[in-house]
Chain A
Amino acid sequence: MIAELFDRNLRWAAGRARVDPEYFRRLASQQGPEYLWIGCSDSRVPANEIVGLDPGELFVHRNVANLAPPQDANFLSVLQFAVEILKVRHIIVCGHYGCGGVRAAVSGERHGLIDHWLQPVSCLCRRDAAELRGILDFDARVNLVCERNVLAQVASLADNPFVRDAWDRGQPLSIHGWIYSIQDGLLRDLETTIENVEGRGGASPKAPRGRARRSRAG
């Protein structure tokens, strides 16, 4: 099984080299992605593939339920490197419908260590409990929390000191919130794009009702 992966790697590298003999040498010489992707660890949500980008074009951080926790040294290291060294122009928080982590948090059942990681999602559920109770279908409830969780992470990022410092320096940097469906392979823009300090107020983790917010991302 493991040997098969090496075989696949050989075929992949050979295929790339055949099409573009300088591909790997060029890739090795520099890393200049325009995007930081914060997505879920779910194996069915492959960041580069979804947006059709090649290696080198997307700086990726993935964890369960696509969180951007301000206390997580791993995430903060990624964020700082992406913003200050790579100078990415866009940060994309991408959740997905049916997320297992979100589902666990919505269920309210205990699952062990992961409950601590998912605490921000559980807090969202408690905050919006009355509204969520009004959604009879459990899967629909999970999907709404998947969206709200993305908005919450976008709001958190907009308050992050690394991001605020970048905006203070006049560095172009936008934060976007998207959701992906594993069932159809398509992205949806949650219209929560923030491009500067002034825009932070628009990133309420609670989705607006009856108010169309515009995004430049289309």
Chain B
Amino acid sequence: MTRVGEVGLHEAHDGIEPISPELMATPLDFFFAEHFRHRQLCALIDRLSTTTFFDPGPIAEVVDFLRFEAPIHIIDEEEDLFPLLRRRCLPEDDVEGVLGVLSAEHKTDAILGRGVRDYLEHCLDTRAAPGANMDGRRDLAAFAAQERRHLALENAVVLPIARQRLTPEDLTGLARRLAARRGMAPGETGG
């Protein structure tokens, strides 16, 4: 038997949009779109943190995103975009201060994200509503809040500097590696 509230959540659940592989051909647009998807993740987590009934679909969606997509995005930044920026930026860009903060936050994200994933996997195993547990609710909310701050800084500072400083060759190389990291050989992205 379905309760009214369950249907309500399911209808309200927009989920995380898939990203078009073609977007990787313009890597900074791809990063921006990825950040948008991370915001969708935060919205989904916020909804889960307030729901008191069990709906496995959105829970599994968050678990999968944290397991497969979020770690690749951190590699995209930590071992590709950020090192490129360190090589290209001018001293007056003062990029190191921001990159240092973001790198530290990536570590925090990974730890908080692991906690969120473990909690949601437990919810799936026990068919529990994520919002029913006080500690769980707090962890979900903490992750979403931290992630939103992090995304705001990246969009406001990192991407604009990258648009200014990265060369066309940098962007071409970045595009190829973004695709390869996702299992696509050159020419398979349509870009």
B181's partner among A179, A186, A218 (CB-CB below 8 A) is A186
B82's partner among A140, A210, A214 (CB-CB below 8 A) is A140
**Closest CB in chain B relative to A98 CB, distance in Å:** 9
Is B125's CB within 8 Å of the partner chain A? no
**How many angstroms between the C-alpha atoms of A134 and B89 in the bound complex?**
15
User: Is A137's CB under 8 angstroms from B167's CB?
Assistant: no
User: Is A209's CB under 8 angstroms from B91's CB?
Assistant: yes
**How many angstroms between the C-alpha atoms of A184 and B179 in the bound complex?**
11
Is B145's CB within 8 Å of the partner chain A? no
User: Is B83's CB under 8 angstroms from A136's CB?
Assistant: no
**How many angstroms between the C-alpha atoms of A139 and B82 in the bound complex?**
12
User: Is B79's CB under 8 angstroms from A184's CB?
Assistant: yes
Is A181's CB within 8 Å of the partner chain B? yes
Give the interface size class of chain B. Answer: 20 to 34
Which residues of chain B from 162 to 186 have any CB-CB distance to chain A below 8 Å in the complex? 165, 167, 169-170, 173, 177, 180-181
Contacts of A186 in B (CB 8 A): 177, 180-181
User: Is A136's CB under 8 angstroms from B100's CB?
Assistant: yes
A188-218 interface bits toward B, Cβ cutoff 8 Å, 1 = contact, 0 = none: 1101000000000000000111101010001
State the interface size on chain A (CB cutoff 8 A).
26
By CB atoms of chain A within 10 A, which of B78, B93, B167 has the most?
B78
Which residues of chain A from 151 to 189 have any CB-CB distance to chain B below 8 Å in the complex? 179, 181, 183-186, 188-189
B99's partner among A97, A140, A218 (CB-CB below 8 A) is A140
By CB atoms of chain B within 10 A, which of A140, A179, A186, A209 has the most?
A140
Is B138's CB within 8 Å of the partner chain A? no
Q: 23 A-B contacts, Cβ less than 8 Å apart? A: A97-B79, A134-B97, A136-B101, A136-B103, A136-B104, A137-B100, A139-B78, A140-B78, A143-B79, A143-B83, A147-B83, A147-B87, A181-B79, A181-B80, A183-B75, A184-B72, A184-B75, A184-B177, A186-B177, A188-B83, A207-B86, A209-B88, A212-B88
